[in-house]
């Protein structure tokens, strides 16, 4: 863990000196990229920022504050940090981040993950829990947009991770999209990644020069985690001369294909799905579309009716679709939804959760 401690002297609370800070050419260039990306988006005044305490999210806190100041903007950002309570000193680190931001007149709220922690698949479950806590807080405050500090380096790590897992067009290209919508408890929350065109080193430079403080997760150095191994692989590929600009061009083409498939999915749902008394009624034509369109269409319906952040796993989806296509009668549960086929019709309803 790397921590740069805040001064123990009497705290002087003051906002950023934007005029002075932006005289730094490198910080100014970073801000201009952020301003272009974020300024082109449609957003309400109420937005949330997901803060980790790392250099990326602290840089994002500065950039949104700078945008608000320079544009005389009416946005009202809320700042949230999720304490997963997975390390003994996580609560202490969260308080240090809160104190750091408070010195810049930024009020950070800490959200705690309470209860028993899983013994396996920890990082994936922790990520889902983080979004669940953030989405719940946003629902309470009528916030529809969450900004995250994902950047260019995260994009490459995600691409190689999904490539190794055999992801299709959507999985390989969707992370390139600055905006991604999630269905959560009858609400649509948009996740925005305005730093995707900025690299880790630039964001690190911003945080070092503005806060002289950041927290680094020690798991970033642990080879047992896939993302750490991929990060090391990417560094090696860069040294070997891999041109990431050309890779990005290929992924832009994939992204274009992905958008075309999305339009087909929307048309399939619009023409072949009927909503009636909290049920989705699916006609037989729904399953006559190309395999990828059927897969994504059903995945979308399951997410909507179950109100879960993530869809079911791909292998389960493929097996389920084959059952629906090849049997006149079939009933099963998938991703929090009950799916029943009788002859040519399919009914999708929400699975009832057991009361504790």
User: Residue 108, Cα to own-chain centre: how many angstroms?
Assistant: 19
Among 109-113, 153-157, 170-174, 198-202, name the one with the lowest average pLDDT. 170-174
Return the pLDDT at 355.
Answer: 47
Return the pLDDT at 99.
Answer: 95
Q: Which residue has the higher pLDDT, 354 or 111?
A: 111
Angle, helix 90-102 to helix 55-70, in steps of 10 degrees: 20
| CA angle (49, 78, 132) in 5-degree steps | 60
Over residues 276-293, the pLDDT tens digits come to 878 999 999 999 999 999
Q: Is 114 helix (H, G, I), strand (E, B) or coil?
A: coil
pTM exceeds 0.95 for this model: no
Over residues 95-121, the pLDDT tens digits come to 999 999 999 999 999 999 887 777 777
Instruction: Return the CATH class of domain 18-242.
Output: alpha beta
Angle, helix 200-210 to helix 55-70, in steps of 10 degrees: 70
The band of 186, judged by pLDDT with boundaries at 50, 70 and 90, is: confident
Instruction: Return the CATH class of domain 261-350.
Output: alpha beta
> Would you list the domain boundaries of the chain?
18-242, 261-350
The band of 3, judged by pLDDT with boundaries at 50, 70 and 90, is: low
């Amino acid at each position: 863990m790397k921590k740069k401690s805040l001064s123990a002297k009497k705290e002087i609370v003051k906002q950023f000196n934007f005029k002075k800070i932006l005289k730094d050419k490198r910080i100014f260039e970073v801000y201009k990229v952020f301003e272009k990306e974020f300024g082109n988006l449609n957003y309400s005044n109420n937005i949330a920022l997901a803060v980790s305490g790392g250099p990326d999210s602290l840089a994002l806190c500065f950039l949104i504050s700078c945008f608000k100041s320079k544009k005389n903007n009416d946005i009202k950002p809320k700042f949230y940090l999720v304490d997963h309570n997975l390390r003994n000193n996580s609560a202490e680190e969260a308080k240090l981040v809160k104190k750091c931001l408070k010195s810049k007149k930024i009020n950070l709220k800490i959200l705690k993950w309470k209860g028993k922690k899983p013994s396996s698949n920890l990082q994936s479950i922790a990520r889902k829990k983080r979004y669940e806590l953030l989405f719940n807080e946003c629902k309470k405050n009528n916030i529809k947009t969450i900004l995250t500090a994902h950047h260019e380096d995260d994009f490459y790590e995600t691409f190689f991770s999904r490539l190794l897992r055999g992801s299709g067009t959507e999985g390989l290209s969707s992370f390139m999209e600055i905006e991604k919508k999630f269905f959560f408890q009858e609400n649509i929350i948009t996740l925005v990644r305005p730093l995707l065109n900025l690299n880790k080193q630039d964001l690190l430079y911003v945080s070092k020069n503005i806060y002289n403080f950041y927290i680094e997760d020690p798991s970033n150095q642990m080879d047992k985690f896939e993302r750490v191994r991929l990060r090391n692989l990417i560094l090696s590929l860069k040294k070997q001369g891999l041109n990431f600009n050309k890779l990005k061009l290929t992924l832009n083409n994939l992204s274009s294909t992905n958008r075309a498939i999305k339009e087909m999915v929307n048309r399939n749902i619009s023409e072949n799905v009927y909503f009636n008394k909290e049920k989705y009624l699916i006609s037989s034509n729904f399953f006559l579309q190309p395999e990828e369109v059927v897969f994504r269409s059903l995945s979308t319906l399951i997410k909507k009716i179950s109100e879960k952040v993530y869809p079911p796993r791909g292998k389960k989806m493929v097996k389920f679709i084959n059952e629906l296509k090849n049997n006149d009668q079939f009933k099963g549960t998938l991703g929090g939804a009950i799916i029943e086929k009788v002859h040519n019709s399919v009914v999708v309803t929400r699975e009832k959760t057991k009361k504790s």
